[in-house]
Amino acid sequence: MLDMITDFVDFVMPVAPHFILLIAALIAPAIGMKSGKASAIFMLAAGLFALGVTGYMMYDGGYNGRVFENLYEFNQFTGFMIVLFLIVLCLVVVMSYGSSDNKKHHGEYYSLLAAATIGMMLVCASVDLISLFVGLELAGIMSIALVAFKKNDPRSSEAAVKYLIISGLSTALFLYGMSLIYGLTGTLNINEIVNALAGQEITWTYAVALVTMIAGFGFKIAVIPFHSWAPDVYEGAPTPVATFLAIGSKKMGFVVFFKIFLLLFVAVRATGEIQELQWLFAILAAVTMTVGNVVAISQTNIKRMLAYSSIAQGGYLLIVLAVASDYALVGGLFHMFTHVFMKGGAFIVVGALCARGLSENISDYRGLSRRAPLIAFAMGVFMFSLAGIPPLAGFWSKFILFSAGVDGGTWIWLIAFAVINSAISLYYYAKVVKAMYIDKGTTTEKVKVSFNFKFAIAVCAIATLAIGFFPGPIIEFCEFAVKAFIP
Amino acid sequence: MIPLLAFVVVGFFGNKFKGGGTAIAVLSAVAAFALSGVVSYAYLTGDLYSTSQPYVASIKWLAFGSYELNFGIYIDSLTCVMMLFSSFISMLIFVYSIGYMGGEGKKKRRYYAEISLFLAGMLGLVLSSNFLEMFIFWEIMGVCSYLLIGFWSYKHPEGDEASMKAASAAKKAFLVTRLGDVCFMAGLFVLLWTFTSLDFTVVFDAANIASAETGMVILGALLLFGGVIGKSAQFPLQDWLPDAMAGPTTVSALIHAATMVKAGVYLIARSYPLFIQNADVMLLVAIIGAVTAFIAATMALNNMNIKRVLAYSTISQLGYMVMALGAGGYLIAMEMQHGVPTAGILATVGFTAGVFHMMNHAFFKALLFMGAGSVIHATGTEDMRKMGGLSKKMRKTSWTMLIGCLSIAGFPLFSGFWSKDMILEATMEPSIAGLAAGDIFLFLFALAAITAFLTAFYMFRMWFMTFHGKPKDESIHCHGESPKSMTIPLIILSIFALGSGFLIFFGLGDIITFNVSGSGAYYFGGDGHTPAHIFDAIVTNIWTYVTMGLALIGILLAYLMYARSLINPARFNANGRSRVYRFLNARYFFPELYDQIALKLGFGVAKGIDYLDKNLIDGTVNGISNAVVGGSGALRKIQTGHVRDYVSLIALGVIAIMAILALLVFSGGI
């Protein structure tokens, strides 16, 4: 009996965090029958437990292993991304409880949230396109249900339908690309595909395969021109879900890009140059960040503004693919990490204020520094961090990401673009700070925010500040992940 | 020495961020000054100084890729001078604030926390051991100034309209200086790429500079200068500074005299080894400085707001400093680049003059601003037309202000006289040496000399309007002299404004120099001009007397026009209707220009792209999909109809990406 247990533990070890969440997702609806609070606490506990297990697995050199006939693996990179997604899950769970958006069906809600997280974690762990696809769909379908969770709000349903259709299309494109790749290489294992493709000349089939895959995932990370759904969906979805999409599911899209294209570029780098695809990504990056930032300026709804700013941040991250060096990936992972806290924090503040009856218009934030000084201060920190004002977390991650681009010399124009863009972005971030601190509000009535929101905001603000002052450890953490990822 | 330095860092950071009450802030400023004094003393009397070495202590902060970033302190003679005067003046301003901000009640806490952070930012910037660290403190000051200028946005003493102005001025200051910050940041990347490090010890090493790519060094220097233009309000980004007057007067004093705007000039002085690599860069610096000095002085001529006059004078004086650094650097650069022999040690007079003027300016400008603050405190208005005859009611303020005015006007023996004269001499030098750009420098000298005349005129116009004659507006009630906490700093400062010029003869001349040693290494401090030499140069120079004369004529003219009313000012401006008058009043239409650019270009483009995004792209897609789908157009009426547009957009996107890729692959020829 004991043997069986140890065998089983050994067997599932590489997917242990997923396994824990899976069990939690199955139990959650049962607990939710009794009380919403209990299911939130239960899910938070499960998330933290999984986080602990992941941390333990990564500790001291880390655990490496594969499971299910080489479908899933665990290494420092996978661990890094899992940690990131679990943090997202925990933050979203904390902010969901007490959010006015979901009154009923707590158990199901948390269950869906956990399942979507499992999907994202599976994507990180996949070494095979099929398993990757399974994770992707798991996360995608759960997200659609989550977006539609405000049943009585037509905006929510509309957003869900949009999301469903667009995500269906992107899946179709991805599948099409995948089948072409299979035709070209005869395998679905990512490492083998990369090696097979690295030696090939670019042919039309090859190009179509790659482009359809870019389009398929471009949807997930809202690259221009596949971005149009994002502002609508963020605006319509319940705020916690919008948070989840902005800081969670977006990262999953990037993981896929890294897994396929970055590895491809790295493999090719050994044999020769594959500049044109990198150029393609550079162009996409430049266009995405510019359009995202410029359109964000004219937004008056804060959720839409944050959506466009997310698009722009996605543009910065695409620099990683254009530059395609280890160092750039360190910057990219670091930026993803800080982005979770600063963008997550901003969304949580929005959620908290929505729950207290403030609208999503930036003009409603006028005079907030008097009505809720601490919340306003935290929001200021998030905004300045997103804009890249030192010494906050966002400055470091941007700095490292951009300096990676300067490294080779080829991409200086792209970095110049990015620097100018981050200056533009300051305009709309400063607009929020100005509204909070400098404009006069119509009322000075205090805004009371419930404890769980305060807690989540405090966690994000402290993380943003702490990483700002001591970025060293996190960068090291990212470097370990990159070493595991790029052989 | 090391534990002492560690204590400095702890002292600066430990004290500052608490904010707390008045006492803590003031005490921390005093402590900062005391520590600066101790550290400077230790450095200047130590072995490092006599061997012209900087003191560097740093810890590894983080490493990424092939780069390493340190966090540390870098002390040389320049640091010492900056540290001493900025902490000293800040200390006095903090003390002054006790009286000035006394009535602010609960908001005092925020005020003191912010000015403390401001001072910490400045000292951190001065002590930084690398460009990145400097940039961080630079930005901290930017954010602080944003908050401080907007301090009265809730309830400005002068009513609602003024609060609105405060809010928009804060935003303007932040965004305009930000334009400079972008340049600075781009400069950081360029330098990082060129030197693979941002440490001063590496970047300023002569051998490293020699082996680096010259073009990149020049580009880096130019981008850094872009940062300076933003921060030190140089042409064409000078416009935010007068608007920043909307904040409390103490903040203006802090920004103008001790901290923020000086940071830009300090950046040039600090990066001198980079700047002097190319003579043309230095020429540009000098030209920008001179133009700034001139146009700011003309704008000050007809302004009626006491604080704005001072703001323009700050810009003008900053222009002087930048010009001096540029002119001096030009000589050094010419010598290094083309082997043009210059008058040896005279070449560094530009650097000395620039930094020296920065210090003197700190004293007299702090004095002037705090004096103006005292006047505003007593009368409750900033409009000079409503003042007058105040000298009887506010004796101390009026006398100290007079000293400040004499000093800034360059009246002989006052501090401003010495440094301004050195600047003019430095500007003359290239033309005396017969260099290629000598004529340009002669022109710059003429501009600077006219500016000296204008400065004397508008400063005394201000003084006479404010303190002389009879009260012009009976509704303005003067409360009499300000409290002691405000007048004592004024008196202390007036002593410095009177006497700090003489310091140049007592060793300061040796401390603020920049030299290129025989082996080609750069160092700050060390051999400078002998006092006798400087004295000689100033006294025997005919141009000294010309500028002195111009200043005196300026004062006389102001006296005749505003004190004696012998010449009616209205004759010159046709009672405010002449074109020149309006042109100056509209600040050469710079604000309009900015607004046009910002609104039309920035917001317009934003709107435009948003419009394109919403209508044109979607519209095109609509058109295409309508054509394809034909009759199903009716479906668009239902609520989710737009999704189809998005879908078509994706399809189009795929095609576009294919096209780009095809273009890259097949025309790129790879």
Res. B164: pLDDT tops 60: no
Q: Please report, for chain B, the start and end positions of each structural domain, with discontinuous segments joined by +.
A: 2-585, 591-668
For residue B667, the one-letter residue type is: S
Residue reference for tokens 């405010």: B576
Read off the pLDDT of each residue in B25-53 and give the average, rounded to a whole number. Answer: 71
Using a CB-CB cut-off of 8 Å, the residues of chain B touching A399 are 132
Contact B650 A166 (CB under 8 A): yes
A478 vs B468, residue with greater confidence: A478
Q: How far is B311 from chain A (nearest CA, A)?
A: 23
CA-atom Rg of chain A in angstroms: 21
Contact B649 A154 (CB under 8 A): no
Using a CB-CB cut-off of 8 Å, the residues of chain A touching B652 are 225
Burial class of residue B322, CB neighbours in 10 A (0-12, 13-18, 19+): buried
Split at pLDDT 50, 70, 90, the class of B11 is very low
A338 vs B613, residue with greater confidence: A338
Contact B602 A331 (CB under 8 A): no
Both tokens of residue B313?
């004078």
Any chain A CB within 8 A of the CB of B647? yes
User: SS in 3 state form for B354-371?
Assistant: HHHHHHHHHHHHHHHHHH
Question: Residue B72: what are its φ and ψ, rounded to 5°?
Answer: -165, -170
Closest residue of B to A230, CA-based?
B646
Using a CB-CB cut-off of 8 Å, the residues of chain B touching A218 are 653
Q: How far is A295 from chain B (nearest CA, A)?
A: 5
Using a CB-CB cut-off of 8 Å, the residues of chain B touching A434 are 150, 167, 170-171
Which residue from B65, B607, B640 is facing A404, i.e. has the nearest CB?
Answer: B65
Give pLDDT tens digits for B354-369.
Answer: 888 888 888 888 888 8
Closest residue of B to A432, CA-based?
B171
Using a CB-CB cut-off of 8 Å, the residues of chain B touching A232 are 642
Contact B166 A438 (CB under 8 A): yes
Using a CB-CB cut-off of 8 Å, the residues of chain A touching B153 are 437-440
Question: Residue B389: what are its φ and ψ, rounded to 5°?
Answer: 65, 20
Percent of all residues in chain B with a pLDDT value above 90, rounded to a whole number: 0
Q: What is the pLDDT of residue A103?
A: 59
Give pLDDT tens digits for B72-98.
Answer: 777 777 777 787 788 888 778 877 777
Contact B182 A430 (CB under 8 A): no
Contact A202 B609 (CB under 8 A): no
Residues with Cβ within 8 Å of residue A123, at least 6 apart in sequence: A132, A135, A136, A139, A252, A255, A256
Res. B669: pLDDT tops 60: no
What own/partner pairs with CB < 8 Å and gap ≥ 24 does B577-581 have?
B581/B302
Contact B606 A207 (CB under 8 A): no
3-state helix, strand, coil in chain A (%, to 5): 80, 0, 20
Q: What is the pLDDT of residue B539?
A: 63
Residue reference for tokens 């209990």: A38
Contact B613 A295 (CB under 8 A): yes
Which residue from A389, A399, A427 is facing B175, i.e. has the nearest CB?
Answer: A427
Residues with Cβ within 8 Å of residue B140, at least 6 apart in sequence: A390, A391, B117, B120, B121, B124
3-state secondary structure of B527: coil
Contact B171 A434 (CB under 8 A): yes
Both tokens of residue B641?
């109809």
Its ipTM equals 0.70
Closest residue of B to A168, CA-based?
B647
Which residue from A166, A294, A389 is facing B647, i.e. has the nearest CB?
Answer: A166
Q: Minimal CA–CA distance to B355: which of B477, B500, B229?
A: B500
Q: What is the pLDDT of residue B457?
A: 80
Read off the pLDDT of each residue in B454-458 and give the average, rounded to a whole number. Answer: 81
Angstrom distance (rounded) from CA B24 to CA B116: 10
Q: How far is B642 from chain A (nearest CA, A)?
A: 8
Percent of all residues in chain B with a pLDDT value above 70, rounded to a whole number: 56
Alpha helices (H) along A59-75: none
3-state secondary structure of B19: coil
Identify whether B236 is preceded by a cis peptide bond (ω within 30 of 0): yes
Q: What is the pLDDT of residue B633?
A: 37
Angstrom distance (rounded) from CA B665 to CA B662: 5
Q: Minimal CA–CA distance to B293: which of B453, B129, B407?
A: B453
Highest mean pLDDT among A101-105, A106-110, B101-105, B153-157: A106-110
CB atoms within 10 A of CB B448: 28
3-state secondary structure of B71: strand
What is chain B's mean pLDDT, rounded? 69
Burial class of residue B160, CB neighbours in 10 A (0-12, 13-18, 19+): exposed
Contact B657 A327 (CB under 8 A): no
Any chain A CB within 8 A of the CB of B19? no
Residues A404, A319 contacting (CB under 8 angstroms): yes
Contact A295 B139 (CB under 8 A): no
Q: What is the pLDDT of residue B219?
A: 83
Q: What is the pLDDT of residue B89?
A: 82
Both tokens of residue B508?
């300061």
Q: Please report, for chain A, the start and end positions of each structural domain, with discontinuous segments joined by +.
A: 274-487
CB atoms within 10 A of CB B491: 13
Q: What is the pLDDT of residue B572?
A: 53
Both tokens of residue B470?
């009879």
Residues B406, B414 contacting (CB under 8 angstroms): yes
Closest residue of A to B181, CA-based?
A423
Question: Residue A126: what are its φ and ψ, rounded to 5°?
Answer: -70, 145
Give the residue ranges of chain A where pLDDT is below 50: none
Which residue from B178, B186, B661 is facing A426, i.e. has the nearest CB?
Answer: B178
Q: How far is A189 from chain B (nearest CA, A)?
A: 25
Q: From the candidates A210, A330, A403, which should be mutated to test the interface with B, based on the most B CB atoms within 10 A?
A: A403
| B 292-321 → A contacts, CB under 8 A | none
Residue reference for tokens 């410095």: B496
The CA–CA distances, whole Å, from B363 to B246, B292, B369 equal 22, 21, 10
Across chain B, how many H-helices and E-strands are there?
A: 32, 4
pTM (predicted TM-score)? 0.77
Looking at chain A, how many residues does it have?
Answer: 487
Q: What is the pLDDT of residue A290?
A: 85
Residues B467, B327 contacting (CB under 8 angstroms): no
Any chain A CB within 8 A of the CB of B179? yes
Q: How far is B186 from chain A (nearest CA, A)?
A: 7
Contact B661 A170 (CB under 8 A): no
Contact B65 A327 (CB under 8 A): yes
Q: From the candidates B601, B650, B660, which should be mutated to test the interface with A, based on the most A CB atoms within 10 A?
A: B650
Residues A426, A374 contacting (CB under 8 angstroms): no
Split at pLDDT 50, 70, 90, the class of B531 is low
The CA–CA distances, whole Å, from A242 to A163, A429, B374, B650 equal 12, 19, 54, 22
Helix (H) or strand (E) holding A268: helix A263-271
Highest mean pLDDT among A121-130, B49-58, B613-622: A121-130
Q: What is the pLDDT of residue B275?
A: 80
CB atoms within 10 A of CB A69: 8
Read off the pLDDT of each residue in B339-364 and give the average, rounded to a whole number. Answer: 71
Contact B143 A389 (CB under 8 A): yes
Angstrom distance (rounded) from CA A468 to CA B63: 14
Strand partners, A72: A67, A126
Strand partners, B68: B63
Q: How far is A297 from chain B (nearest CA, A)?
A: 6
B640 vs B570, residue with greater confidence: B570
